[in-house]
Amino acid sequence: MKKRAALIIGKALALFAVVFVSTASMLWFHRPEIPAELKK
């Protein structure tokens, strides 16, 4: 049972790492300012 839990946790962490590394920019943290011309 412990081996299966360790495999599931390992796969979840690997998936998280692949998703985190494959994104070119940090879309969740990057908030560019909108120019005033576009706000009109």
Query: What's the pLDDT tens digit per position in 9-40?
Result: 999 999 988 877 766 555 556 667 778 888 77
- Number of structural domains in the chain: 1
Cα 16 to Cα 14: distance, rounded to the nearest angstrom: 5
Tell me the CA distances in angstroms from 10 to 1, 5, 7, 38, one per residue in order.
14, 8, 5, 45
Domain that holds residue 6: 2-39
- Is 8 or 29 the better-scoring residue by pLDDT? 8
Give the pLDDT confidence score for residue 38 in this predicted structure. 80
Instruction: Quote the CA–CA distance of 30 and 16 in Å, as a whole number.
Output: 19
Q: Tokens in use for 34?
A: 């909108």
pTM score above 0.75 = no
**Locate tokens 């299966």: which residue?**
4
